[in-house]
A and B are shown apart, each in its own frame.
Chain A
Amino acid sequence: MSFLSVRNLSVSLKGGPRILRDVSLDVSAGEVRGLVGESGAGKSMIGKAVLGTLPRALQIDRGKILLDGDDLLMLDPRERRRRIGANVALIPQDPLTALNPSRRIGRQITDRLVDILGWSRSDADARALVLLDEVHIPDAARVLRQYPHELSGGMRQRILIASAFAAEPKLIVADEPTTALDVTVQKQILRLIREMQERHGTALLFVTHDLGVVSKICQSLSVLYAGKVVEDTGIEAFFGGPTHPYSAALLAATPKYTDPEGSLMPVPVDVIAQVQAEVDAADAGWV
């Protein structure tokens, strides 16, 4: 059974437009699912809904978020936070804003373990050392005493990965974790995330706008347009030929230097019209 199962999740701006439209998706233990779409498609919002960090201006209209079989939305807020805190972690996009500039690296990894999960200080410190080793940071003891500004972008992202895996979460939401990085550093970080995810058997929800990245790290993917899942498939099927015209157009728009004639194609207007019509049709029955 899937560790995370989102069923017919609908989210809207309070008193305003819909943000997510009947989104359903599953992620099993050990699976990496890509969440792909253009900006504004709602891919980050799904991650935020799972983490319980939706902006206050948004409301969940209906649907279920099942974590290990229990609907998070039916739990009281205290229990919901406890479940999420114990089972789910986030790898954020921008390592510079995600780390507190005035605190040492070590404390930023161990705080959550000590304050929220009730570990002892010495256990948490020992764990931090092991984790930095796992993410291939040399001279871990020294790095734990450093501040974020003393580290490169790639190193900071490694710290956040270590931090996400610290409490052995069953599910990790990675929100565009390599978008701010160089291609060569991106490659190292993606390999590291995959290595860590395989070693720990974690379910991973990987939010990205880059289908190139999806092909390297995911086993399955959901393609979103305007908060609606237009395609949900395995990557072999997807890269063999997407079934939905919008997914096909998105794939053809993705840069591919080995195929200059067949890539970087503008998304045709009629494809947008078609997928927008599907969204409008879905909204017609919405009250």
Chain B
Amino acid sequence: MLYRVNDLHLSLPDQTRKPLLGAAPRIEILRGLNFEIEQGEVLGIVGGSGSGKSTLGRAMVRLLEPTGGTIAFDGQDITHMDEAALRPMRRQFQMIFQDPLSSLNPRRRVGGIIAGPLRLYGVEDTTRAVGDALDHVGLPRAFARRYPHELSGGQRQRVGIARAIALRPEFILADEIVSGLDVSSQAQVLNLLGGLVREFGLTLAFISHDLSVIRRLCTRIMVLHEGRIVEMAETAELFANPKAAYTRSLLEAIPLPDLEQVWD
């Protein structure tokens, strides 16, 4: 079992309701989540805005510290691990962010962006590793010389993927990585990610609000609503027989490109 999550709670201060003096009231975002992720699994995490899916992702890669419960990664409890102890583990869980324009340093070239984490972990031949990573995401090696603003949205997201896979992590968390892309690049990026998962035997958690996209890529799906898991099932099972009312309402609300769909 790669991830074992028990009774996970996370609350954050609600700055919009902070009084002028004194602490902001805390808002409960994750309210007791229990789940496991197996090695090699592609787990889809779906939910509406405010459901806590991004917060869950950030807690799993410990960009946020949980306020209750435990997260075990590869048998080790990382729930409250300090940054020094986390540092060597971070090599094993990488993240791909939603908006590549804000997660890729605009002043660095693509090569430098991908090489950054490699240098941090003392990889010797970074030039070769960067070239390999670019090959894997289907970008020409010459792109190492370019800046993020010179790339299209789909190409930028490939750079984000290249940076994540360059260290050969065990686990990748992808947070809404295709929602900013045109449909034509969405398909390419999903196919690419699916291929890399198989090739490297990666474990992937794929956060999305779009069940159509999740269906394409994921083996199992977790549906979040208001900080709780309302349903967790194999992909085929969830689409054939959604059990939670919330899952059904999510499915029914998706406007399919189809005049036959009953949508009113």
Contacts and interface: CB of A to CB of B under 8 A. Distances in A.
Contact of B184 (A185, A212, A260, A266): A266
Interface residues of B, number: 33
Interface in B223-264: 239, 249-251, 253-259, 261, 263-264
Contact of A235 (B209, B210, B259): B259
A239 B184 contact: no
Nearest to B190: A264
Which DSSP category, helix, strand, loop or mixed, fits chain A's interface?
helix
Interface size class of A (residues with CB under 8 A): 35 or more
A215 B259 contact: yes
Contacts of B211: 257
B215 A38 contact: no
B153 interface: yes
B215 to A, nearest CB: 5
Q: Is the interface of B mostly helix, strand, loop or mixed?
A: helix
B191 A266 contact: yes
Given A250-B184, A263-B212, A266-B184, A257 B257 contact: no
Given A209-B182, A264-B190, A267-B184, A39 B256 contact: no
Interface of B: 16, 48-49, 153, 182-184, 186-188, 190-191, 209-213, 215-216, 239, 249-251, 253-259, 261, 263-264
Which 7 A/B pairs are nearest by Cβ-Cβ distance? A255-B212, A212-B255, A267-B184, A257-B212, A38-B182, A253-B183, A211-B257
26 contacts: A38-B183, A183-B254, A183-B255, A187-B263, A191-B264, A211-B183, A211-B257, A212-B255, A212-B256, A212-B257, A212-B258, A215-B255, A215-B256, A215-B257, A215-B261, A239-B259, A250-B183, A253-B183, A255-B183, A255-B212, A257-B251, A263-B257, A264-B187, A264-B212, A264-B213, A265-B187
Given A209-B182, A216-B263, 19 more contacts: A38-B182, A149-B16, A209-B183, A212-B256, A213-B255, A215-B256, A239-B257, A239-B259, A249-B184, A253-B184, A254-B183, A255-B212, A256-B212, A257-B215, A260-B216, A263-B212, A263-B257, A264-B187, A264-B213
